[in-house]
Structures are given as C-alpha cells and as structure tokens.
Structure 1
Amino acid sequence: MLITISGPAGSGKSTAAAKLADLLGYEHVSGGDIFRELAAERGLTPLELNKLAEEEDDIDRDLDRRLRKIAAESDDLVLESRLAGWMAGEHADFRIWLDAPLSVRAKRISEREEKSEELARKETKARSESEAHRYQDYYGIDIYDLSIYDLVLNTARLDPDGVVEAIGTVVEAYNPEGDEGKTPVTVDYDF
C-alpha cells in the first residue's frame, strides 16, 4: 500500500509518517529530507533554498518530480510532504491530510526551532501563502481543496501517538473496493 501524509508546517505530518511507517513495517520517505538533499546538492541551507524557490520554479518541480518517481516505484511506503497526496497521483492507495490551527502549529514550530511563537507564526503564515500561490501557479492545485483525501484529521488536541493510533484505525478499516465515489487526482505536471 502507498499511503501519503500531507499537511501544513507544524501539523505533525513528519512525526506521524515516521511512526505510522514503523507501525506498519513500511518505508518512510519525507519530502523534507528530499528538499534538504536538494539544498545540499546546491550548497545551500534549506531556508536559503526555500527563498530561492520563490524565484526559481525548477526547485519545486525537481522536488515534485522526485516525489512522483518514488510514488510510481514504491509499495509499502508512507510518503510525506505538503503535496504528497497530489504528487502520488493514481499510485496512492490512501491519502491523509493533517492540520491544526495556525496558533498550535506556530507553537510547535517555535519549540522545535527554538524561536519565538510570534516569529514562528509570522514565518509559517508567509510560507503557507507563498507555497499555496506557487502550487496554484505551477500545477493548478488548490492546496485547500481537501476532496482528494481519504482522511482529514485535526491534530491540535492529539499527541503524536494519538494521531498515529487514529490513522492506524482508519487505515486498518480501509476498503479498496469502496473507491466508487473517490475523487480522481489529475494534475497537469508540466515539469
């Protein structure tokens, strides 16, 4: 099974994806790790590469191309990134979107990155807006369209183990025969 986990920064997607992969005995691939590889290949920090990505669309397209290739070639995988649900296309068996209010996500990010909540909130909001604009421009993806996801979960009041337990319960009950009403995922991938 190919499971995708997507969501905004601070939603808990990386932690949930790693824990879910361990629980299921699957491989875990993180879009963040691939992004860091791209940064290293260019001799940049991830923050520098993110800023550059606002001006050079080949950066996002390279990341997305790599995610699509991994999705096409993998089974028993938890693929995690902001656009994993979209990039996996027809290869995804189960798509998950994790979210939490901006205040919760900013607090998590501030603790993780040792910065003020105010700064984390400002940066997270700006990053989300920038990414949403780029995804719309590049692929016609409305990141706020959650209709492609099999499970949408607010992680604000759940600890990481609770998130994985909730996901695991739903994945265990997954019935691949029930796809009649599922929204097909098609995106113009002009790389």
Structure 2
Amino acid sequence: MSKVVICVSGFAGSGKSTLCRKLAEALNLRYVSGGDGLKLLAIERGYSPGGEEWWETSEGFKFLEERLKNPEFDKEVDRKLLELAEEGNIVIDSWVLPWLYKGGFNIWLKAKPEVRAKRLSERSKVSVEEARKMLQRRDRESSDLYRRLYG
C-alpha cells in the first residue's frame, strides 16, 4: 500500500492548520504541525507558548529573533518532519517541507492579506490593523529565515 503524505504550506493566517486538521480527519491520517515542533523547542528555551496566536505575541516574536540567530532550531524541526513524512500517512503543516520532501502532495494556501489579518485579529483579539502589521513582520522575518537556511 502506498504512503500518503500531504504537505500544506502558506503564510500565517491563510488557514493551514484548519485545512490540515480537516484533511487528516477526513482521510484518517495523522496531523503534525511544524509550528508545534518549534513550540516544543521554545519551551525548552524557557518560553511559554500558548495557542496559534502565540507567534504574534511579543514573546513569539522574541523567539523568532532567537531563531534568526540560531537557524539550527528550524533545521532540527525540519529533519523530524522529514522523518515523519518518510513514515507516511500524514498531513503536515510546514512553511518549507513541500520544498524539502519530494514524495508528497503539496498544497500552497493563498489568502488575501485582509482575510489573513481578519483571521488573526479574531484569534488574537487585536485590531485588524494591528494584525496586518504583525503578519507583515512575521512574513518578512520568516521568509528571511528560510531563505538563509535553504536558499
């Protein structure tokens, strides 16, 4: 029997986690989030990550800055995600896995900036304008990080 590997990527607030959970449930597959792997590393470093909105908090941005200084955090999580992908029967939410793992079905979620800001505003309880600014910063810094890591 063939292995099913679905990799979902897209910018923050595009609906990756929501889609992954629904796909995993509908197809009876495991769901793993690259962000959850990073949160485990954050806990080891003394951070207190909460829900999905944690990434846009001052502590989440501080951890992102630490990741920019030490890209091994992300490489470690990516290595683990690759191992899980090799096992198969999984849906993975990750910024870069679709480019690192060649055997999966890859989905890139695209959402308008105003839709992403509205989603983040609702889950983080901030204004849409504040959410828009947080997303711009997160997109820029995350893109810079992965560009430095993988070219």
Scaled by the length of structure 2, the TM-score of the pair is 0.84
Residue type of the alignment partner of 2:99: W
Q: 2:108 is matched with which residue?
A: 97
| Per-residue deviation, residues 20-69 of structure 1 (Å, max 9, x unmatched) | 10000111111121111111122213413222112221222222222222
Aligned length: 137
Structure 2 unpaired stretches of 5+: 50-59
Whole-Å Cα distance in 2 between the matches of residues 32 and 62 of structure 1? 12
Q: 2:90 is matched with which residue?
A: 77
Deviating beyond 2 angstroms after TM superposition, the runs of 4 or more aligned structure 1 residues are none
Query: Which residue of 110, 113, 134 maps to 2:124?
Result: 113
- 2:37 equivalent to 1:34: yes
Question: Root-mean-square deviation (CA), in Å?
Answer: 1.3
Q: Which moved more, 1:15-24 or 1:26-35?
A: 26-35
Structure with the greater relative contact order (CA < 8 A, sep ≥ 6): 1 or 2? 2
Per residue, is there more helix in 1 or in 2? Answer: 2
* CA positional deviation for 1:90: 2.4
Query: Which residue of 65, 76, 94 maps to 1:51?
Result: 65
Q: 2:147 is matched with which residue?
A: 136
- 2:20 equivalent to 1:6: no
Whole-Å Cα distance in 2 between the matches of residues 63 and 96 of structure 1? 20
Scaled by the length of structure 1, the TM-score of the pair is 0.68
Please say which structure displays the higher CA radius of gyration: 1
Identity of aligned residues (%): 40
- SS in structure 2 opposite 1:45? coil
Equivalent positions of 1:155-174 (< 5 A) are: none
Residue type of the alignment partner of 2:88: D
Structure 1 unpaired stretches of 5+: 141-191
